[in-house]
Amino acid sequence: MATRILLVEDDPAIVEALSELLAGEGYAVDHATTQERAIELSLGKGAALPGHAASTEAPYQLVLLDVTLAQGNGFAVCAAIKQATPQVPVIFLTASDDEFNTVTGIQMGADDYVAKPFRPRELLARIAAAIRRSQPQRHIISFGPLRIDTDRARVERSGQELALSALEYRLLLLFATNPGKLVTRDRIRDALWDDAGTYIEENTLSVYIKRLRDKIEDDPAHPSLIATVRGMGYQARG
Tens-level pLDDT at each residue, the chain (238 residues): 578 999 999 999 999 999 999 999 999 999 999 999 999 998 876 434 334 433 445 689 999 999 888 899 889 999 999 888 888 999 998 875 667 777 777 777 888 888 888 889 899 999 998 988 887 666 888 999 999 998 888 999 888 899 998 889 999 999 999 988 899 988 888 877 754 445 667 788 888 899 999 999 999 999 999 999 998 899 988 6
DSSP-assigned beta bridge partners for residue 146: 143, 157
* Phi, psi values for residue 5, rounded to 5°: -125, 135
By the 8 A CB rule, do 87 and 136 touch? no
The C-alpha atoms of residue 144 and residue 219 are separated, in whole angstroms, by: 14
Beta bridge pairs of residue 94: 115
Question: 39 — phi, psi (to 5°)?
Answer: -70, -40
Q: Does 117 sit behind a cis peptide bond, omega within 30 degrees of 0 on the bond before it?
A: yes
Put the strands of the sheet holding 154-157 in their side by side order: 140-143, 146-149, 154-157, 160-161
